[in-house]
Amino acid sequence: MDLGIAGKWALVCAASKGLGKGCAAALVGEGVNVVITARGEAALLATAAELRALNPAVQVLTVAGDITTIAGRVAALAACPRVDILVNNAGGPPPGDFRDWDREAWIKAVDANMLTPIELIKAVVDGMAERGFGRIVNITSGAVKAPIDILGLSNGARSGLTGFVAGLARQAKLASRNVTINNLLPGAYDTDRLKATLSGAAAKTGQPLEAVAEARRQQSPARRFGSAEEFGATCAFLCSAHAGFIVGQNLLSDGGAYPGTF
């Protein structure tokens, strides 16, 4: 299927590795020019080279910086000639017990996983409406639907974003102008972040890493982790010309791990 977005420009945040990289690769495969960001320059440049090899016909630009800072967002937006597609992403907050989190920890989580995407949406959404095309996908987490005890900072901050987006996406001045905003909720995906989480659990319990990983795989009916490539393909479809009637949704991609009917 031709997704009908060749020649568009996408800003894909936090995209040198993992899910962000998967999204950038899928968009590049569809002929979309991309600006990708991450803090570490070496991995960012290596990913840009991979993306250019994937599709030499598109432009791949890089902005090294922290997307959760004003300077990082200004630089990312300035590099993108026109934001037709915005993929919001950043690292997730650390796990822990809420008794140990002070105001500073909460502000950091809310800043990164709620206010950063909102600021970026604010910067691009009216231009999208004027041009009659816009796709915004926020990478959130399955924890928005089924909270994970030790990820309270993530549960809270991402739920705040989800509630805000539910209202904004339904503004007629956006939806009637072919501008969609949706959230994509990953379950367990095979990325560096998941490896770090599993290694932490293995160290804490004294179990072998592979045993911890296998137990986690068994938690989903798919009995496997998702791949960044399949996550990216789902994101690219939400960004496609065909997805203009999908508005304000929370799409869970978790191999069936969430047990609810809805």
Q: Could you list the residues that contact ligand NAP (CB under 6 A)?
A: 14-20, 37-40, 43, 66-68, 89-92, 139, 141-142, 186, 188-189, 191-194
The residue (of 40 and 200) whose beta carbon lies closer to ligand NAP is 40
- Give helix 70-79 / helix 116-131 axis angle, nearest 10°: 30
Instruction: Determine how many CB atoms are found less than 10 A away from the CB of residue 128.
Output: 24
Residue 9 or 189 having the CB closest to ligand NAP: 189
Nearer to ligand NAP, 31 or 91 (CB): 91
Closest approach, Cβ 108 to ligand NAP, in A, equals 10
Residues ≥6 apart with Cβ < 8 Å to 4: 240, 241, 242
> How far is Cα 170 from Cα 249, in angstroms, rounded to an integer?
10
Of 20 and 248, CB closest to ligand NAP:
20
Residue 45 CA from chain centroid, whole number: 19
The full DSSP string for 212-230 is HHHHHHTTSTT-S-B-HHH
Measured CA to CA, the distance from residue 195 to residue 186 in angstroms comes to: 15
Q: In what order do the strands lie in the sheet with 179-186?
A: 60-64, 33-38, 9-12, 85-88, 134-139, 179-186, 250-253
Nearest distance in Å: CB 2, ligand NAP: 27
Question: Is 65 or 248 the residue whose CB approaches ligand NAP more closely?
Answer: 65
Identity at 215, one-letter amino acid code? A
Residue keyed to tokens 């970026």: 120
Closer residue to ligand NAP (CB): 150 or 241: 150
To ligand NAP, the closest distance from the beta carbon of 258 in angstroms equals 12
